[in-house]
A and B are shown apart, each in its own frame.
Chain A
Amino acid sequence: AQTVTQSQPEMSVQEAETVTLSCTYDTSESDYYLFWYKQPPSRQMILVIRQEAYKQQNATENRFSVNFQKAAKSFSLKISDSQLGDAAMYFCAYMPKIIFGKGTRLHILP
């Protein structure tokens, strides 16, 4: 069965610094998608970034980038130049099985 593991329940980073959130997964499938979702205290879950497993190139979206290591089944999220608005719960997700990790709460220190 597929699993998604986020080993960091909470993290803190100084404003303007860089932080990396970890995610590992387990699957026997060769074709799948990985996502990072952000859920701020106002509750709405929004997509941060997605990665198709067949693509070798790491996805980037402005200050957000991933380090996708398919062989190691690792999918970490790097946030550069952290901003106060980045404070949220971050969930790593695996599709098509729709599995979410337990989440990492990210605190941004002014």
Chain B
Amino acid sequence: DTEVTQTPKHLVMGMTNKKSLKCEQHMGHRAMYWYKQKAKKPPELMFVYSYEKLSINESVPSRFSPECPNSSLLNLHLHALQPEDSALYLCASSQRLAGGLLSTGELFFGEGSRLTVL
């Protein structure tokens, strides 16, 4: 199994809603990532978890709250989002992080969750 599965594929929410994005991998990877991608732009790193601990938070607003319940699952909780948060949210995993907390290996990406904030 070399898949990273993301749900839902599409999500529309209002600015007062609370929703969650989910990501799952069964490759035994111990590093998991959330990226935000706007149209025709590269992915922007948001969070990195290593061995279920938050390793990197790229100054993301607190309305985005990541959670890593176990080594296979990664969630992104959304609350009080703004229309400019509308984007494709990509989850990725890699085998491990290097000693400096950053990846040296291949990232496996999910198909993404397309989020629209009204």
10 smallest CB-CB distances across A and B, nearest first, come from: A96-B102, A100-B42, A45-B109, A44-B111, A96-B104, A43-B112, A96-B98, A47-B106, A43-B111, A95-B103
Chain A interface size band reads: 20 to 34
**Interchain CB contact (< 8 A) of A98 among B45, B88, B90, B112:** B45
Say how far B97's CB is from chain A's closest CB, in angstroms.
Answer: 8
Whole-angstrom distance between the Cβ of B61 and the nearest chain A Cβ: 20
Complex contact B106–A98 (CB within 8 A)? no
Q: Write 26 A-B pairs (CB below 8 A) sorted by A numbering.
A: A33-B104, A35-B107, A37-B109, A42-B111, A43-B111, A43-B112, A44-B110, A45-B43, A45-B92, A45-B107, A46-B109, A47-B106, A47-B107, A50-B106, A89-B40, A95-B102, A95-B104, A95-B105, A96-B100, A98-B33, A98-B45, A98-B48, A100-B43, A102-B41, A102-B42, A103-B40
Kindly state whether residue A25 has any CB partner on chain B within 8 Å.
no
Residues of A whose CB lies within 8 Å of any CB of B are: 33, 35, 37, 42-47, 50, 89, 91, 95-98, 100-103, 105
- B67-99 at interface with A (beta carbon < 8 Å): 88, 90, 92, 98
Chain B residues closer than 8 Å to A91, beta-carbon distance: 42-43
* Least Cβ–Cβ distance between A43 and chain B, in angstroms: 5
Q: How far is the CA of A46 from the CA of B112 in the complex (A)?
A: 12
Residues of B within 8 A of A (CB): 33, 40-43, 45, 48, 88, 90, 92, 98, 100, 102-112
In the bound complex, residues from chain A placing their C-beta under 8 Å from that of B106 are 35, 47, 50
In the complex, how many angstroms separate the beta carbon of A4 from the nearest chain B beta carbon?
Answer: 9
Closest chain A residue, CB of each to CB of B102: A96
The chain B residue sitting closest to A97, CB to CB, is B102
Give the distance in Å from the alpha carbon of A46 to the alpha carbon of B107 in the complex. 8
Chain B residue contacts of A89, Cβ below 8 A: 40
Q: Please report the C-alpha to C-alpha distance between residue A105 and residue B109 in the assembled complex, in whole angstroms.
A: 19
Residue of A nearest to B58 (CB): A98
Contacts of A103 in B (CB 8 A): 40-42
